[in-house]
Amino acid sequence: MERLAASYRLDYDVRARDYVSGGEVSSALRAILKQLSLPPDLVRRCCVACYEAEMNIIIHSFGGHMSIEIFPDRLEMIAQDSGPGIEDLQKAMQEGYSTASEEAREMGFGAGMGLPNIKANTDYFDIQTGKEGTTLTMKVLFLKKEGE
């Protein structure tokens, strides 16, 4: 695997209900990861986690921001929005639970699989939520230690 000389940083504002721009952040991330010739399954894990976090800001929040840093050995992403927060985090983490609008559901969003998908595709996942907003911190490791 090619080693990264420098680290990359992406910063994007994500607007609420802006479905047409949905995937802009994840597409930019994908473009960089592909250049680094990382294994395709690793690229997919990073991109799926990023896309789900990005779409959750669009679908469920008042708007937010994504900060992404790509280091030689890992990806770190922070998805932060300004509310309204997740009412019942335990339920939200369950597969199939969704409060998505009819509009979002008609487009095929709202399967209630986004947060579970993020968890499954990342090596580290933390979620902090309250009325003032939700912050997701996600990490994907590029190089696993022996035996992992």
Partner 1 sequence: MSIKVSDLLKHNFTLIAGEGGLNKDVDDVYICDLLSWVMAKAKQKSAWITIQSHVNIVAVALMADLSCIIIAEGVEAEKETIDHANEEGLPVLNYAGSSYEAAIELYHLLTT
Ligand X SMILES: Nc1ncnc2c1ncn2[C@@H]1O[C@H](COP(=O)(O)OP(=O)(O)O)[C@@H](O)[C@H]1O
Q: Which residues bind Mg ion (CB under 5 A)?
A: 56, 114
CB 56 within 8 A of CB 114: yes
CA atoms within 13 A on the CB side of 51: 15
Query: How far are the Cα atoms of 26, 113, 114, 123 from residue 37, in angstroms, in the given order?
Result: 17, 28, 26, 20
Backbone angles phi, psi at 83, to 5 degrees: 115, 170
Measured from the CB atom, the residue of 52 and 81 that comes closer to partner 1 is 52
Does residue 138 bind partner 1 (CB under 8 A)?
Answer: no
Does residue 121 bind ligand X (CB under 6 A)?
Answer: no
Report in angstroms how near the CB of residue 120 gets to partner 1 at its nearest.
7
Q: Which residues bind ligand X (CB under 6 A)?
A: 52, 56-57, 59-61, 81, 85-86, 92, 97-100, 109-115, 134
Q: Which residues bind partner 1 (CB under 8 A)?
A: 19-20, 22-23, 26-27, 30, 40-41, 43-44, 47-48, 50-52, 107-109, 111-114, 116-117, 120
